């Protein structure tokens, strides 16, 4: 369809082009169709005038002179090529006056020419109406073409679009019975709670009486909130596939245009169309593009257009009663920035939180996305789900695709567990860079650094269990220790401290073995500093600071208005440093105790480059933690 439209657009421009070429062609033809021969002024004076062959001359437009030859002389050999009817020749001049001066001078110098033989000189001003017209028609036509082109682009309709007059119309895509939207709730894995709620919306629209008979009201809006890639759009698409009612889908940014009032007009148009097709659903993706809190940028006024759009949305959502049966579903990653008026009950009555998937949900998502893949029958989806904590649905979809590509690269017939693991590494750590240049000394430092992490985490009760350790450079990192963190909802002090201690194990190992430290621990230090800062400033884990948090969930706290005094700032600094130093000392203590095993593990790493949990067990024995290194968490408790 689009192709056809584009074709039509091209045709219009062909027509414009053909008209322009036609006009230019006529002009071109006109100027060359005359049979008058061109000569020079000297030829005219010496060969024609001197020979007394000229009947008369006409100075035209002060630009050229037309020469008429006497009839009696036309049969001469040199005039053979010219027509019988004059003008027979022409030549260009700089000005008519100058030509007459030249003529006079010629008569004076050539006394042989009798006065009665002197020729008549006429002057004519001729109007080239056609040429004059072309002079303004062509620029006008070009301007017209440019204007039409811009208008078409602005209306977003391409060559066949509805023109500038459609700019205020909503850009919503309509899915109804006739469209082939095949997504159903089966395609959405996990998200049971969210699915239940949106299924109810579908039911509201299909059987409104069931709900309204008891006096209840059908909700007007549902807000899907959650991190990127968790399946909000997918859920909405499934509603479209299942509801069997018209479903208008568009993104918040589709309302925004550079013209004032367009956004509001599009909102009005969208609701008008949706109401006319009621019962129906409107889906607005990324609603934060228009729904951000109003009034924060009063000085610049830059937000006026967005605010108008939002106001119109608020008005429209108020405007339709429950009998209209139009439900608005919106999705956002940032519910916190939305205007309070938008999320109040009565507009978006329901907020559905779509969180990152848990273990069982990840397994279900793997199931959906491996359905069409040629996977090894032995592939354990539980194992894959365990390996991917923190992955969103979109990440898992990407991982499955990446695994398929990895297997294809190796010309395999089936996708196996290794391909999935390689894809995890690639997604989390970046592309492998085996040929990165490194000195032997550098490799040794990296091996000890990673072995340090491995040993310390192995010996601590609350540190996350290790999955594998590698010294193959990937992305920006030169080596890595991969952990499998618990999926916990709350974290206790001892868990944070053990994790910090394991993170500092890398630098501690470098110091113990080489008696020097390197820049390789930058990421570790950043992570540990953030954790220590959070313990003191956010979670109230520090005895000296007490049960105080300086965290502001509204995000209005700035660098300039620190909520604590200078004295407290000093204490905060000291306490953060103290926590980190204590953990560093603890890590060193563990490594000194197991120095032999540290060396053994580092050598194993240098040989094999990648070692797994099983290899660690061989070197370190079954995982067990030692009482000596347990921390005295009482020191964090207030007396």
Positions touching ligand ATP (CB under 6 A) are: 188-191, 226, 228-234, 331, 333, 365, 368, 393-394, 397
Q: H-helix or E-strand containing 455?
A: helix 440-459
Contact between 254 and 260 (Cβ < 8 Å): no
For ligand ATP, the closer of residues 288 and 583 by Cβ is: 288
CB of 181 to ligand ATP, least distance (A): 13
Sign, CA dihedral 569-571-572-576, equals: positive
The C-alpha atoms of residue 602 and residue 170 are separated, in whole angstroms, by 63
For ligand ATP, the closer of residues 198 and 576 by Cβ is: 198
The C-alpha atoms of residue 210 and residue 387 are separated, in whole angstroms, by 45
Report strand pairing: 120-124 vs 54-60.
parallel
For ligand ATP, the closer of residues 167 and 400 by Cβ is: 400
CB of 336 to ligand ATP, least distance (A): 14
CA dist list (Å): 553 to 13, 178, 332, 538:
57, 46, 18, 11
For ligand ATP, the closer of residues 103 and 354 by Cβ is: 354
For ligand ATP, the closer of residues 230 and 388 by Cβ is: 230
CB of 281 to ligand ATP, least distance (A): 16
For helices 595-608 and 613-620, the axis angle rounded to 10 degrees is: 150
For ligand ATP, the closer of residues 368 and 610 by Cβ is: 368
Phi-psi region at 28: left, alpha or beta (left = phi > 0; alpha = psi -120 to 50)? alpha
Can you name the residues that pair with 483 across neighbouring β-strands? 466
Q: H-helix or E-strand containing 173?
A: strand 173-175
- Among all chains, which residue has been given the structure tokens 């059908």? 218
Report strand pairing: 466-470 vs 247-251.
unpaired
Which DSSP symbol is given to 461? S
Q: H-helix or E-strand containing 568?
A: helix 566-593
For ligand ATP, the closer of residues 233 and 457 by Cβ is: 233
CB of 382 to ligand ATP, least distance (A): 17
Contact between 452 and 509 (Cβ < 8 Å): yes
The C-alpha atoms of residue 275 and residue 248 are separated, in whole angstroms, by 11
CB of 487 to ligand ATP, least distance (A): 17
Query: Does 242 qualify as catalytic in the annotation?
Result: no
Contact between 334 and 159 (Cβ < 8 Å): no
CB of 593 to ligand ATP, least distance (A): 46
Two tokens at 502?
A: 């394991």
Tell me whether residue 560 is exposed, middle or buried, using C-beta atoms within 10 angstroms of its C-beta: 0 to 12, 13 to 18, 19 or more: exposed
For ligand ATP, the closer of residues 226 and 246 by Cβ is: 226
Two tokens at 471?
A: 């010294």
CB of 252 to ligand ATP, least distance (A): 11
CB of 331 to ligand ATP, least distance (A): 6
The C-alpha atoms of residue 88 and residue 163 are separated, in whole angstroms, by 56
For ligand ATP, the closer of residues 394 and 548 by Cβ is: 394
Contact between 507 and 519 (Cβ < 8 Å): no
Which residues lie below 8 Å from residue 184, measured CB to CB, with a gap of 6+?
A: 238, 241, 242
Which DSSP symbol is given to 37? E
CA of residue 273 relative to chain centroid, distance:
29
CB of 310 to ligand ATP, least distance (A): 20
CA dist list (Å): 143 to 25, 132, 146, 149, 159:
20, 18, 5, 10, 17
In the complex, which residue's CB is closest to ligand ATP?
393
For ligand ATP, the closer of residues 234 and 245 by Cβ is: 234
Counted residue by residue, the chain has a size of 639
CB of 333 to ligand ATP, least distance (A): 5
Nearest to 224 by CA among 141, 148, 329: 329
For ligand ATP, the closer of residues 86 and 229 by Cβ is: 229
CB of 189 to ligand ATP, least distance (A): 4
The C-alpha atoms of residue 62 and residue 77 are separated, in whole angstroms, by 31
CB of 280 to ligand ATP, least distance (A): 21
How many other β-carbons are positioned within 10 Å of the β-carbon of residue 409? Answer: 10
For ligand ATP, the closer of residues 64 and 366 by Cβ is: 366
What does residue 612 show for φ and ψ, rounded to 5 degrees?
-110, 175
The active-site residue, picked from 66, 257, 286, 450, is 450
Phi-psi region at 629: left, alpha or beta (left = phi > 0; alpha = psi -120 to 50)? alpha
Outline where 299-339 has alpha helix (H): 304-319
What does residue 73 show for φ and ψ, rounded to 5 degrees?
-95, -5
Mapped onto helix, strand or coil, the DSSP state of residue 74 is coil
CA dist list (Å): 529 to 354, 463, 501, 563, 635:
31, 17, 12, 20, 20
Active-site positions read 450
């Amino acid at each position: 369809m689009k192709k056809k439209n584009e074709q039509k657009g091209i045709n219009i421009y062909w027509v414009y082009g053909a008209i322009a070429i036609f006009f230019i062609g006529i002009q071109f033809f006109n100027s060359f169709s005359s049979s008058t021969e061109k000569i020079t002024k000297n030829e005219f004076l010496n060969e024609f005038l001197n020979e007394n062959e000229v009947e008369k001359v006409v100075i035209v437009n002060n630009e050229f002179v037309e020469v008429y030859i006497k009839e009696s002389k036309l049969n001469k050999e040199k005039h053979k090529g010219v027509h019988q009817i004059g003008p027979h020749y022409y030549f260009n001049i700089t000005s008519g006056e100058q030509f007459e001066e030249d003529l006079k001078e010629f008569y004076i110098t050539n006394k042989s020419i009798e006065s009665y033989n002197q020729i008549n000189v006429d002057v004519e001003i001729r109007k080239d109406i056609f040429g004059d017209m072309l002079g303004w028609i062509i620029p006008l036509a070009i301007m017209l073409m440019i204007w039409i082109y811009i208008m078409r682009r602005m209306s977003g309709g391409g060559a066949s679009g509805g023109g500038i007059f459609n700019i205020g119309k909503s850009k919503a895509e309509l899915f109804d019975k006739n469209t082939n939207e095949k997504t159903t709730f089966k395609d959405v894995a996990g998200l049971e709670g969210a699915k239940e709620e949106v299924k109810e919306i579908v039911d509201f629209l299909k059987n409104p009486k069931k709900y309204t008979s008891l006096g209840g009201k059908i909700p007007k809006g549902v807000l899907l909130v959650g991190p990127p890639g968790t399946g909000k759009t997918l859920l909405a698409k499934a509603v479209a596939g299942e509801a069997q009612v018209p479903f208008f889908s568009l993104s918040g940014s589709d309302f925004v245009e550079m013209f004032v009032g367009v956004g509001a007009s599009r909102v009005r148009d969208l609701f008008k169309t949706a109401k006319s097709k009621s019962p129906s659903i409107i889906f607005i993706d990324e609603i934060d593009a228009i729904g951000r809190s109003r009034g924060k940028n009063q000085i610049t006024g830059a937000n006026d257009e967005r605010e108008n759009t939002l106001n119109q949305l608020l008005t429209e959502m108020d405007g339709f009663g429950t009998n209209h049966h139009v439900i608005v579903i919106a999705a956002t990653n940032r519910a916190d920035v939305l205007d309070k008026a938008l999320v109040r009950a009565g507009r978006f009555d329901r907020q559905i939180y779509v969180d990152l998937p848990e273990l069982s949900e990840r397994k279900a998502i793997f199931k959906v996305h491996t359905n069409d893949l040629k996977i090894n029958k032995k592939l354990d989806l539980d194992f894959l789900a365990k390996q991917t904590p923190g992955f969103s649905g979109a990440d898992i979809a990407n991982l499955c695709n990446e695994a398929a590509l990895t297997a294809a690269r190796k010309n395999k017939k089936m996708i196996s567990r290794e391909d999935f693991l390689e894809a995890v590494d690639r997604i989390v750590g970046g592309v492998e860079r085996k040929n990165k240049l490194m000195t032997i000394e550098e490799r040794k430092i990296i091996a000890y650094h990673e072995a340090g992490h491995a040993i310390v985490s192995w010996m601590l009760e609350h540190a996350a269990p290790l999955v594998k350790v590698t010294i193959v450079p990937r992305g920006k990192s030169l080596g890595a220790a991969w952990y499998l963190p618990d999926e916990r909802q709350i974290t206790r002090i001892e868990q944070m401290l053990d994790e910090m201690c394991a993170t500092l194990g890398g630098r501690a190992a470098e110091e113990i073995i080489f008696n020097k430290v390197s820049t390789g621990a930058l990421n570790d230090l950043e992570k540990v500093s953030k954790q220590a800062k959070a313990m003191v400033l956010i979670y109230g884990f520090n005895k000296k600071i007490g049960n105080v948090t300086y965290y502001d969930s509204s995000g209005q706290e700035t660098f300039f208005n620190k909520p604590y005094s200078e004295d407290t700032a000093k204490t905060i600094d000291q306490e953060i440093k103290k926590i980190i130093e204590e953990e560093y000392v603890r890590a060193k203590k563990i490594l000194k105790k197991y120095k032999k095993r540290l060396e053994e593990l580092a050598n194993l790493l240098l040989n094999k480059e990648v070692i797994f949990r099983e290899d660690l067990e061989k070197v370190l024995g079954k995982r067990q933690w030692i009482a000596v290194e347990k921390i005295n968490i009482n020191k964090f408790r207030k007396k």
